[in-house]
């Protein structure tokens, strides 16, 4: 006897062995047909997987309405794609084919390169398979037999995976669909007909098991949905997101440029982009001072020895610009990190516990030679400015300082209306020996950090075991770009390494008149100004809040007859400290408005005969349109108020 609890709290009883699809039939034939998978005690399984004979389970039948079913269907779509590829190409070896956000991929090993030109015929073959609507059949085999089966199928990658990756499994499962059989954990939808709309998206290289020294496979990405409408909506969303691309907007709005004459991954901030950056810098410096940081300035190069001491050289030599060698043999490194310089500032005099916590801040320009394939606009570059600071404190102060750093980072993100972020708390992998410091210290630090994070109720907090830097645990603030890629912005990292005896042997004199070792915290709320501004451009789709806008307001003269008065108004706004320009071209007012709208100028002041007579301006808001006439001083006060509050306005 099996008791099946359904989400509506009703209970069904079965004396025979049943599957979720049988439970669905019991409720109704339409539900049975719509059931694509099931969630049994919280685990997603296939609709035809047998439920236990005895006891009680809670069961949720999953249909096209449930997001879990979408993931199951996409996994099935990956199989269908693999089946199509195997029908069309000779000697295809299958690797892995999982579901990912918004779609799926499958990795193949085959001699012939697949290109996008092959997509139509693969898609056509997939459509045929979906049309045939054959069932997915689960087959469970003992491990040894599975190895033989895969070997017979010529699937050597799968053989390797069963031997190594699944070494601890007694049995493994396959899914068969017609002539196609694939090692797979499942689950799958009942049959291919559940895949209603799909599209291949791209082909790329991928390494077998993520190992760059292993052979490279061909990865085919696709997306699949339960309706053509959903698919079209998705493709449209992707297109719209691409219009926010900071590389496109950065060029259109003249914010930054990259030129191979200077070098790949090296950002040239154009005047308008420089305004945004300068405003952010002013903002961040104000915060730093308020929060007890002391700005310092240090050089962008340092002797190689310094980085040997810090351990950055030669450990990261592959991703550094090689040292500059002088005639006398002295070698200098373009700094990849600011910390050694700040440590040198710390060491510039003996420190007492009364100096701690010592918070040294600098917008520090660093250079790293990132691999060419990694470079991406302002987001992944070879020269960038960290809004860096290093806090030197006692063990007891770590939690408070850590909290202060998180608080500042949150404050910065909130001020900019960036609330779609997640926080990743990276801890060590206890089974690895690559970490500095004793396990006890790590445990204590990790516990303290997690406690602070929980107490601050950070959004989407997740703990990532094994993601810590070798020198200490860290908390990263992660934001997605317009293509859905996640990037680290702000970061707060504990460091037991650099202060240690092995490295810089930092000390302070304690109340006991004896030397003690300080702890270091690295922190950067923006991460890098380059990446942060890149993300901001995408976040605002180029339409910055007033306080950041390169051009805050533009005076538009209705005709040249009113130019003199308009110029007076422009002068008055400039005097008031606003970033203002004037459009005095012999154009119609509609054309001037259009230019200003396209250039995303937040406010326009239209000036014609009426305004000149009455000494007013007609204010046009980029978002809301015409706001009507008001006095010049009233308009200035309105804008200044919005700047003071750093308001983030969106279309209402």
Partner RNA sequence: GCUAGCGUAGCUCAAUCGGCAGAGCAGCUGAUUUGUAAUCAGCAGGUUGUGGGUUCAAGUCCCUCCGCUAGCUCCA
Place of tokens 């990292």: 493
Is 587 an interacting residue with respect to RNA (CB under 7 A)?
A: yes
* CB 49, CB 187: distance < 8 Å: yes
Q: What is the 3-state secondary structure (H, E, C) of 99-133?
A: EECCEEEEEEECCCCCCHHHHHHHHHHHHHHHHHC
Nearer to RNA, 326 or 591 (CB): 591
Q: Measuring CA to CA, which residue among 57, 55, 59 is closest to residue 8? A: 59
Write out the two tokens for 216.
């490279």
Task: Give yes or no for residue 142 binding RNA (CB under 7 A).
Answer: no
Site string for RNA, 467-496 (x = CB under 7 A): --x-------------x-x-------x---
Interface positions, 66-95, toward RNA (CB under 7 A): none
d(C-alpha 40, C-alpha 4), whole Å: 9
216 is an interface residue for RNA by CB under 7 A: yes
Helix (H) / strand (E) element for 577: namely none
Which of 66, 308 has the CB closer to RNA?
308
Give the interface segment with RNA, choosing from 146-154, 162-170, 622-630, 644-652 (CB under 7 A): 622-630
Q: How far is the CB of 413 from RNA (least distance, A)?
A: 20
- Percent helix, strand and coil across the chain, each to the nearest 5: 35, 30, 35
**Cα 137 from Cα 529, distance rounded (Å):** 53
Based on the shown chain and the rule CB under 7 A, indicate whether residue 329 belongs to the binding site for RNA: no
**How many residues make contact with RNA (CB under 7 A)?**
70
Rg of the chain over CA atoms, in angstroms? Answer: 31
Q: How far is the CB of 293 from RNA (least distance, A)?
A: 20
Interacting residue with RNA among 127, 206, 461, 541 (CB under 7 A):
206
By CB under 7 A, residue 218 contacts RNA: yes
65 makes contact with RNA (CB under 7 A): no
Element holding 247 (H helix, E strand): helix 246-252
- The answer to the question of residue 261 lying near RNA (CB under 7 A) is no
Question: Cα separations (Å) of 221 from 47, 98, 191?
Answer: 26, 10, 21
614 lines the binding site for RNA (CB under 7 A): no
Report the C-alpha gap between 276 and 386 in whole angstroms.
Answer: 16
Please tell me the distance from the alpha carbon of residue 166 to that of residue 175, in angstroms, as a whole number: 16
Among 316, 353, 568, 576, binds RNA (CB under 7 A): 316
Residue 109 in the binding site for RNA (CB under 7 A): no
Exposure string over 118-131, b if 16+ CB within 10 A, otherwise e: bbeebbebbeebbe
**Smallest distance from the beta carbon of 595 to RNA, in angstroms?**
8
* CB contact burial 152-182 (16+ within 10 A = b; e otherwise): ebebebbbebbeeebeeeeebbbbbbeebbb
- The owner of tokens 């033989």 is 148
Q: Give yes or no for a contact between 311 and 503, defined as CB atoms under 8 angstroms apart.
A: yes
Binding region for RNA (CB under 7 A) out of 20-28, 59-67, 280-288, 375-383? 375-383
205 scored as a contact of RNA (CB under 7 A): yes
User: Between residues 265 and 437, which has the closer beta carbon with respect to RNA?
Assistant: 265
Indicate the residue among 131 and 216 with the shorter CB distance to RNA.
216
625 near RNA, rule: CB under 7 A: yes
Tell whether residue 586 is a contact of RNA (CB under 7 A): yes
Under rule CB under 7 A, residue 374 binds RNA? yes
Q: List contacts with RNA (CB under 7 A).
A: 113, 115-116, 202-207, 210-212, 216, 218-219, 221, 247-248, 251, 258, 260, 264-265, 312, 315-316, 319-320, 336-337, 368, 370-377, 380, 469, 483, 485, 493, 522, 558-561, 586-591, 593-594, 597-598, 604, 606, 608-611, 618, 620, 625-626, 629
């Amino acid at each position: 006897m099996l008791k099946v609890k359904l989400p509506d709290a009703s209970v069904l009883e079965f004396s025979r062995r049943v599957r979720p699809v049988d439970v669905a039939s019991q409720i109704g034939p339409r539900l049975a047909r719509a059931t694509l998978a099931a969630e049994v005690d919280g685990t997603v399984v296939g609709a035809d997987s047998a439920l236990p004979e005895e006891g009680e389970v809670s069961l949720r039948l999953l249909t096209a309405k449930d997001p879990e079913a979408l993931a199951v269907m996409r996994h099935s779509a990956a199989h269908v794609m693999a089946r199509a590829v195997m029908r069309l190409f000779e000697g295809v070896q299958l690797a892995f084919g999982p579901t990912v956000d918004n779609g799926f991929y499958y990795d193949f090993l085959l001699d012939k390169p697949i290109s996008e030109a092959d997509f139509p015929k693969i898609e056509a073959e997939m459509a045929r398979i979906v049309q045939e609507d054959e069932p997915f059949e689960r087959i469970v085999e003992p491990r040894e037999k599975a190895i033989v089966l895969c070997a017979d199928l010529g699937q050597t990658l799968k053989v390797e995976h069963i031997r190594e990756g699944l070494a601890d499994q007694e049995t493994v499962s396959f899914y068969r669909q017609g002539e196609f059989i694939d090692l797979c954990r499942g689950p799958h939808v009942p049959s291919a007909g559940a895949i209603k709309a799909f599209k291949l998206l791209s082909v790329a290289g991928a390494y077998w098991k993520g190992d760059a020294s292993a052979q490279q496979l061909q990865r085919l990405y696709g997306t699949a949905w339960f309706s053509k409408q959903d698919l079209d909506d998705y493709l449209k969303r992707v297109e719209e997101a691409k219009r926010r691309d900071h590389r496109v907007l950065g060029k259109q709005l003249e914010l930054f440029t990259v030129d191979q004459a200077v070098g790949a991954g090296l950002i040239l901030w154009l005047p308008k982009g420089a305004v945004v950056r300068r405003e952010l810098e002013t903002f961040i410096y104000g915060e730093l001072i308020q929060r007890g940081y002391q700005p310092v300035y240090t050089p962008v190069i340092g002797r190689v020895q310094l980085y040997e001491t810090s351990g950055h050289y030669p450990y990261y030599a592959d991703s550094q610009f090689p040292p500059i060698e002088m005639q006398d043999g002295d070698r200098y490194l373009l700094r990849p990190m600011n910390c050694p310089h700040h440590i040198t500032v710390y060491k510039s005099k003996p420190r007492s516990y009364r100096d701690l916590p010592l918070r040294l801040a600098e917008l520090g320009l660093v250079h790293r030679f990132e691999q060419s394939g990694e470079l991406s606009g302002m987001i992944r570059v070879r020269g960038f400015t960290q809004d860096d600071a290093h806090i030197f404190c006692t063990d007891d102060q770590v939690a408070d300082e850590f909290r202060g750093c998180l608080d500042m980072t949150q404050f910065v993100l909130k001020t900019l209306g960036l609330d779609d972020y997640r926080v990743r708390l990276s801890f060590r992998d206890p089974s690895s020996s690559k970490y500095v410091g004793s396990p006890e210290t790590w445990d204590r630090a990790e516990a303290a950090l997690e406690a602070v994070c929980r107490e601050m109720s950070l959004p989407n907090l997740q703990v990532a075991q094994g993601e810590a830097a070798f020198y200490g645990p860290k908390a990263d603030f992660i934001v997605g770009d317009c293509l859905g890629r996640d990037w680290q912005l702000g970061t707060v990292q504990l460091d037991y390494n650099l202060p240690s005896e092995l490295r810089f042997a930092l000390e302070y004199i304690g109340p006991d008149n004896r030397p003690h070792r300080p702890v270091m915290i690295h922190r950067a709320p923006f991460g890098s100004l380059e990446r942060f501004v890149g993300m901001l451009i995408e976040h605002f789709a180029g339409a910055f809040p007033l306080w950041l806008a390169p051009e805050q307001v533009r005076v538009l003269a209705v005709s040249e007859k009113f130019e003199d008065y308009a110029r007076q108004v422009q002068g008055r706004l400039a005097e008031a400290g606003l970033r203002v320009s004037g459009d005095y071209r012999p154009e119609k007012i509609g054309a001037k408005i259009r230019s200003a709208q396209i250039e995303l100028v937040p406010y326009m002041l239209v000036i014609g005969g009426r305004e000149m007579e009455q000494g007013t301006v007609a204010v046009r808001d980029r978002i809301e349109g015409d706001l009507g006439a008001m006095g010049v001083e009233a308009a200035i006060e309105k804008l200044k108020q919005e700047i003071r509050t750093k308001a983030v306005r969106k279309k209402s």
